[in-house]
Amino acid sequence: MKKIIIGIFLVLTLILFSRDNTSNNTSKALEVNSFKEEKRGLFFSYIELEKYVKDSNFSKMKKNIDNVISNVKKMNFNLLVLQVRSASDAIYESDIFPWSSSISQEEGVKSIDVLAYFLQVAHKEGIDVYAWINPYRVRTNDDVSSISEKNPAYKYIGTDTLYVGGGIYYNPSKKEVVDLIVEGVREIVDNYEVDGVIFDDYFYPNNEIDIKDYENYLLTNENISKTEYNLMIVSNMVEKVHEVCKGKNVLFGVSPEGNINNNYEKNFADVKLWLKSDLYIDFIMPQIYYGFFNETQSFPKVLEEWSNLIENKNIKMLVALAFYKVGKFDEYAKSGGNEWLNNDNIIMKEIISSRNIKQYEGFCLFRYGFLFDESLYSNTSLQEINNMQKILK
């Protein structure tokens, strides 16, 4: 009986220990050499480009990029997910898209080749660069007049190839749009030594953008639902892009919304298909922007759901994490809304949890500014960074 009581006590102690000391002891247990090679990424968006890179003085722009890479290196990150095309534009020398206003004084005005210089400096420091592309978006607003004549979207103004409503988007169903996206990626992988290409979660802006194309499809093809049609359209485009990247030995992946159902009901990204095939992606980076106590989408639950979707063992998984939520109230978490306010080790714990899933390759934080701009800091940002650094040695 005494042995049984001791055994029960030990089990209870272990349970309590693992529950109360995750931030300290689990992190030490997982600090092994294999994780030193994990991909540790930061998203660097057009917002960061405008704030930390853009300058009328080209020499100053290069110094700004030097500083970005220095910051990334000092914090022991080894991957920068750089938004090279956010709105049918380019931060690189392109024969297809105009110079982006995020690095230039206005769209189409020549700038330095920001992508080329990022690659030069990052690779010198052993940091990979993934070219982050928003494939369909032309504008975040409805201002058609802001589209320059140098933009390939200009010739589609007033046609059903361009959708205006809550932003301006290319119609995914149009062949000329697919060709534009594919050739845009081809131009990058042909001319730049990027380590990967990644699409984000913006696909269909709504379900009505190509209703006429769907109706025309049904005239000569099998009878499928509008949802099935949308999923097929996006997957066909993704497959073509993957083929182009594979031809240059460049990794291709997608960073879809963390809520798996939304990918099917809103964005029309067939992630289940992609994760069981060799045809579509090399890696997946779901945006699991939830805390541990999110009432409807808890981080552990969603992490496991994504891990279980990966049927193709060749596909790696990186986890996108929400550093932008640090120290803030999470309005969509219901009863877990105060979690990010009351804790300063959530990102650290999420990295530790992610390291235990199958196919794990790394993580990526959204986004750079929230780690390096003090004006964006919350009351817990510095401590969250310090705790995270403990497991990134």
Residue by residue, pLDDT tens for the chain (393 residues) are: 433 333 333 333 333 333 333 333 333 333 333 465 899 999 999 999 999 999 999 999 999 999 999 999 999 999 999 999 999 999 999 999 999 999 999 999 999 999 999 999 999 999 999 999 999 999 999 999 999 999 999 999 999 999 999 999 999 999 999 999 999 999 999 999 999 999 999 899 889 999 999 999 999 999 999 999 999 999 999 999 999 999 999 999 999 999 999 999 999 999 999 999 999 999 999 999 999 999 999 999 999 999 999 999 999 999 999 999 999 999 999 999 999 999 999 999 999 999 999 999 999 999 999 999 999 999 999 999 999 999 998
Cβ–Cβ < 8 Å for 119, 84: no
* 232 in any annotated domain: yes
pLDDT at 393: 84
- The per-residue pLDDT for 35 is 60
Query: Rounded to an integer, what distance in angstroms lies between the CA atom of residue 170 and that of residue 174?
Result: 8
Is 146 contained in some domain?
no
Domain CATH code at residue 195 = 3.20.20.80
Strands 39-44 and 251-254: unpaired
Q: Report pLDDT for 37.
A: 83
Would you state the pLDDT for residue 4? 39
Alpha carbon 140 to chain centroid distance? 18
Following CA atoms 289, 261, 266, 312 in sequence, which dihedral angle do they give, to the nearest 10 degrees? Answer: 90
- φ/ψ (deg, to 5) at 321: -120, 150
In a domain, 76, yes or no: yes
With 0-12 CB in 10 A as exposed, 13-18 as middle and 19+ as buried, what is 228? Answer: middle
Q: b vs e for 324-335, b when ≥16 Cβ sit within 10 Å of the residue's Cβ?
A: bbbbeebeebee
Cα–Cα separations (whole angstroms), residue 125 to 14, 79, 108, 192: 42, 11, 31, 17
Residue 30 lies in a domain: no
What pairs with residue 198 in β-bridges? 132, 253
d(CA 60, CA 86): 23
Is 301 domain-assigned?
yes
* CA neighbor of 139 nearest in space, from 117, 116, 114, 156: 156
Q: Is 94 inside a domain boundary?
A: yes
Sheet with 162-164, side-by-side order of all strands: 137-139, 168-170, 162-164
Residue 203 lies in a domain: yes
Q: How far is CA 96 from the centre of its chain?
A: 24
Give the per-residue pLDDT at 36: 58
Q: Which of 343, 333, 254, 338 is nearest to 301 (CA)?
A: 333
Write phi, then psi, for 199 (nearest 5 degrees): -100, 150
Residue 201 token pair:
């979660």
**Number of domains into which the chain is organized:** 1
Q: pTM of the prediction?
A: 0.91
Residue whose tokens read 């969603």: 302
Domain enclosing residue 348, as ranges: 38-135+176-389
Q: Is residue 323 part of a domain?
A: yes
* Amino acid identity for residue 137 in this structure: R
Q: What is the 3-state secondary structure (H, E, C) of the chain?
A: CHHHHHHHHHHHHHHHHHHHCHHHHHHHHCCCHHHHHCEEEEEECHHHHHHHHCCCCHHHHHHHHHHHHHHHHHCCCCEEEEEEECCCCECCCCCCCCECCCCCCCCCCCCCCHHHHHHHHHHHCCCEEEEEECCCEEECCCCHHHCCCCCCCHHHCCCCCEEECCCEEECCCCHHHHHHHHHHHHHHHHHCCCCEEEECCCCCCCCCCCHHHHHHHHHHCCCCCHHHHHHHHHHHHHHHHHHHHHHCCCEEEECCECCHHHHHHHHCCCHHHHCCCCCCCCEECCECCCCCCCCCCCHHHHHHHHHHHCCCCCCEEEEEECHHHCCCCCCCCHHHCCHHHHCCCHHHHHHHHHCCCCCEEEEEECCCHHHHCHHHCCCCHHHHHHHHHCCCC
